Chain A
Amino acid sequence: MNVLLFGPELFYLGMALVLFFFSLQRRVQVERTYWAALGLAAAGFVVALYCLFQNGEIFFRAYKVDLFSQIFKAALALGLFLVMMISRNLAHIEPRYHAEFFFFLTTCTLGMMMLVSSVELLTIYVALELSSYSLYILVPLRKGDGLDVEAGIKYLFIGAVSSGFMLFGLGYIFGATHSTYLSEIIPRMPELLASPIGLVGLLLTLAGLFFKLSVFPFHFWAPDVYQGGANQVVTFIATASKAAAVAVILRLAMLGAKYGYSFTQALVVLSIVSMTLGNLVAIIQKDFKRMLAYSSIAHAGYVLIGVITFQELGYASAVYYALAYLVMNFTVFMVLSEVATDGQDLKIEELAGLYSRSPLLTMSLILGIFALAGVPPSIGFTGKLLLFTSAMNEGYFWLVLIGAVNGTVSLYYYLKVVYAAYFLEPRQGPLQLSWPTKALNWTLCSAILVFGVFPDGLVELARTAVRMVL
């Protein structure tokens, strides 16, 4: 077996081990732990990029390494690195838990990397739980007023119930097709058209992943966890974990491609309800992170539009949108955690006068927010355009119409943020940024614009990747 096939996972396993030893140390060395974690995360991203064009199957065909999985692994590695970049000032996590904080971020990344490569039901389940359990521990790690444990317990129970649903569904799929390998299950699914067992099993299975992506009706955790968790943890949940969820949903939804009307209709309803509910409830939010949570529910609805098409273009645009969402959502969260210097929850009005406090952060904030809202020429606009075009080609006129109306509604609450940043009087002094943060700001801003104006390279890559799945 070629070691490079399992390269990124092995690297993150080693990285988790190193960080585990850091957590055992008696003397707390915050600086050293941080630089070690950051350096390893950067190296991990390089390793993931190096393994980008690996191809093969390992572990008795339970684990498939192809361009599709490798792109997402690179994205996850990037997500971890970016979160590490903004974790320099972990004000809300006790110094002696910093090493554990980095450790669980790493195991979560490892779990998600295994998740995007798994093509066997049990492997998918175990990888999913590895990433989820790390997050269950990360959320209540925040010190403070009890909000964190409340968010943690809600996250855990909603997650446990949805993974119970998923297991129950996997059981039905296994029973109906007598196999746990996706490659053997997919050809047998059409035989089950007459009986409901396959459809019920598939929908229950997707429930576990809809929880990760915070699609209605498994979205209840999102607002509470976003508000209760430490800013950096929430950043990770909102970026990397969503990308991994999209990858597995794309793989598993293929099981239902032949089902036609009934399965698609179920997904259409979930997509519409998710985006409408997310956008409408986001309007009344005062807490910035809570608003972003509802916006993430809405975005989960948009991504589902691409899944529903079951076509190459739709799948590729879902991949593109997942990557774009990672970048633009991270940009907003980076601004949030830079402004909340002592790690507190940020009200939208606390962004007041950010324009005079730090012009650079304001530029990033505006670009990130406009990208989320889908304003051209940002990466978010291109993503939405691709999604809507692919759905239009398949004749989902109403879905696209509702999606477009939702995009307009979302502008209202996104612009509230811009309004606060530009037109309210500042209450605090200017913000000082370190040079790595400045560099990160410029990089993210240019990424949002460059990939928005010239998406061809990325879209072509995504199209090649999804051909492996279809």
Chain B
Amino acid sequence: MLLFNQLETYLYVALVLFFIGLYGVLARRNLIAILISVELILNAASLNFMAFNRFLAPHPAVGQVIALFIMAVAAAEAAIALSIIIAVYRKLKSVNVEQATELRG
């Protein structure tokens, strides 16, 4: 059985991608890097949908449609995130999360 023709392979890759993204969100200090990590999480989810769609789903289009929707929604999200990051940069002169620690308690 070929490795690339198995559902498990893709699920493991997605899981690894998910945890890389999660690690990035928690560990990185740069807002842009965090945004990229969030995109990794979303891509992991897309990969999941595509894998399940390819190997299991009775209807072959469902997972692909969902993956397309995820891309569109992720693009909107990136636009909003980048615009807020620019606003952060204008006010704090930095895109580092350590500068944004006024709110506490």
Interface residues of A (CB under 8 A from B): 121-122, 125-126, 129, 133, 136-137, 140, 145-147, 149-154, 156-157, 160-161, 164-165, 167-168, 170-172, 174-175, 178, 180, 223-224, 227-228, 284-287, 290
Known: A153-B31, A285-B105, A287-B105. A175 touches B85 (CB 8 A): no
Which residues on the A side are within 8 Å of B22 (C-beta)? 161
Known: A129-B73, A133-B76, A175-B52. A147 touches B102 (CB 8 A): yes
Dominant secondary structure at the B interface: helix
A174 touches B49 (CB 8 A): yes
CB-defined A-B contacts under 8 Å, sample of 22: A140-B84, A149-B84, A149-B92, A150-B100, A153-B31, A153-B85, A160-B81, A161-B38, A161-B41, A164-B18, A164-B41, A164-B42, A167-B70, A168-B44, A170-B45, A171-B48, A175-B52, A178-B56, A223-B105, A228-B103, A286-B105, A287-B105
Contact B87 A152 (CB under 8 A): yes
Complex contacts, B66 vs chain A, CB 8 Å: 121-122, 174, 180
Cβ contacts under 8 Å, B41 to chain A: 161, 164-165, 167-168
Given A157-B38, A167-B70, 19 other A-B contacts at CB below 8 A? Answer: A122-B69, A146-B91, A147-B102, A149-B92, A150-B101, A152-B87, A153-B84, A154-B103, A164-B21, A168-B18, A168-B45, A170-B45, A174-B52, A174-B57, A175-B51, A175-B52, A178-B57, A224-B103, A286-B105
A172 touches B103 (CB 8 A): no
Task: List the 4 shortest-distance A-B pairs measured between CB atoms, nearest first.
Answer: A171-B48, A164-B41, A175-B52, A167-B45
Nearest CB in chain A: distance from B21 CB, A = 7
Closest Cβ–Cβ distance, residue B13 to chain A (whole Å): 13
Structural contact, B84 and A152, CB atoms closer than 8 A = yes
Expressed in whole angstroms, the minimum distance between the Cβ of A196 and any Cβ of chain B is: 13
Q: Which of B70-89 contact A (CB under 8 A)?
A: 70, 73, 76-77, 80-81, 84-85, 87-88
B6 to chain A, nearest CB (A): 14
B52 pairs with A156, CB closer than 8 A:
no
Q: How far is the CB of A182 from chain B (nearest CB, A)?
A: 14
Inter-chain contact B49/A171, CB cutoff 8 Å: yes
Q: A122-B66, A146-B92 are in contact. Are A133 and B102 (CB under 8 A)?
A: no
Residues of chain B within 8 A of A223, CB atoms compared = 103, 105
Expressed in whole angstroms, the Cα–Cα distance for A81 and B61 within the complex equals: 41
CA distance A354 to B31 in the complex (A): 42
Q: B1-44, CB under 8 A of A: which get 1 and which 0?
A: 00000000000001000100110010000010011001001101
Contact at B58–A178, with CB atoms within 8 Å? yes
Asked if residues B48 and A175 are in contact (CB atoms below 8 Å), the reply is yes
Interface centre among A121, A150, A165 (most CB of B within 10 A): A150
Please pick, from B48, B63, B69, the residue contacting A172 in the complex, using a CB distance under 8 A: B48
Of the candidates B42, B65, B81, which one forms a contact with A122 in the assembled complex, judged by CB atoms under 8 Å apart? B65
Contacts of A145 in B (CB 8 A): 102
Bound Cα distance from A72 to B62, whole angstroms: 29
A228: chain B residues at CB < 8 Å are: 103
Partner of B100, one of A136, A153, A165, A175: A153
Enumerate chain B residues within 8 angstroms of A172, measured Cβ to Cβ: 48
Most chain A CB neighbours (cut-off 10 Å) among B46, B48, B57:
B48
Contacts of A180 in B (CB 8 A): 62, 66
Is A164's CB under 8 angstroms from B87's CB? no
B103 near A175 (CB under 8 angstroms)? no
With a 10 A CB-CB cut-off, give which of A121, A160, A286 has the most chain B CB atoms. Answer: A160
Give the complex CA separation of A236 and B45 in angstroms. 30
Q: Hey, which chain A residues are within 8 Å of B25, CB to CB? A: 157, 161
**Which one of B48, B58, B87, B101 contacts A149 once the chains associate, using CB atoms below 8 Å?**
B87
A residues less than 8 Å from B56 (CB atoms): 175, 178
Contact between chains at B103 and A151 (CB < 8 Å): yes
Smallest CB gap from B73: residue in A:
A129
* C-alpha gap A171/B62 in the complex (Å): 11
Instruction: Give the CA-CA distance A228 to B92 in the complex, in Å.
Output: 15
Given contacts A136-B84, A164-B21, A180-B62, contact A126 B103 (CB under 8 A): no
Complex partner residue of B88 from A121, A137, A149, CB under 8 angstroms: A149
**Shortest Cβ distance from residue A320 to the other chain B in the assembled complex, whole angstroms:** 32
Task: Give CA–CA (A137, B45) in the complex, Å.
Answer: 25
Chain A residues whose CB sits within 8 angstroms of the CB of B35 once the complex forms: 157
Contacts of A140 in B (CB 8 A): 84, 87
Bound CA span A133–B83, Å = 12
Q: Is the CB of B80 within 8 A of A164?
A: no
Contacts of A149 in B (CB 8 A): 84, 87-88, 91-92, 100
- In the assembly, what is the distance between CA of A288 and CA of B89, in Å? 29
Say how far B80's CB is from chain A's closest CB, in angstroms.
5
* Least distance between B49 CB and chain A CB atoms (Å): 5
Query: What B residues does A153 contact at CB under 8 A?
Result: 31, 84-85, 88, 100
A246 → chain B, closest Cβ, in Å? Answer: 23
CB distance from A277 to the nearest CB of B (A): 14
Contacts of B52 in A (CB 8 A): 171, 174-175, 178
How distant is B14 from chain A, measured CB to nearest CB, in Å?
Answer: 8
Known contacts A150-B100, A168-B44, A157 near B34 by CB under 8 Å: yes
Please determine whether A136 and B21 come into contact, CB atoms closer than 8 angstroms. Answer: no
Residues of A close to B103: CB separation below 8 A: 147, 150-151, 154, 223-224, 227-228
